[in-house]
Structure 1
């Protein structure tokens, strides 16, 4: 069965990362901070799954 939560997190991260790259946003922007939060959520979810 597909892990929809994991897919949603990865999808949001990819979308935000593409936006940041396109606009050339700095590290202290809300978008980049959200990417860091998503990375932590992904790490925690993968650790819990394993």
Structure 2
């Protein structure tokens, strides 16, 4: 079965990353902090599996 939670996190990360790249946002913006949080959540989720 597809892991929908993981797919949603990865999709949100790709969208945020594209936005940050287009706008040239620095590391201390809320978008970049959310990307770091998503990375942490993905790592935790993969560690459980």
TM range (shorter): over 0.9
Q: Normalising by structure 1, what TM-score?
A: 0.97
Query: Pairwise CA RMSD of aligned residues?
Result: 0.2
TM-score for the superposition, normalised by structure 2: 0.99
- What pairs with 1:27-38 in structure 2 (closer than 5 Å)? 27-38=27-38
**Count of residues paired in the alignment:** 49
Q: CA deviation at 1:6?
A: 0.2
Segments of 4+ in structure 1 off by > 6 A?
none
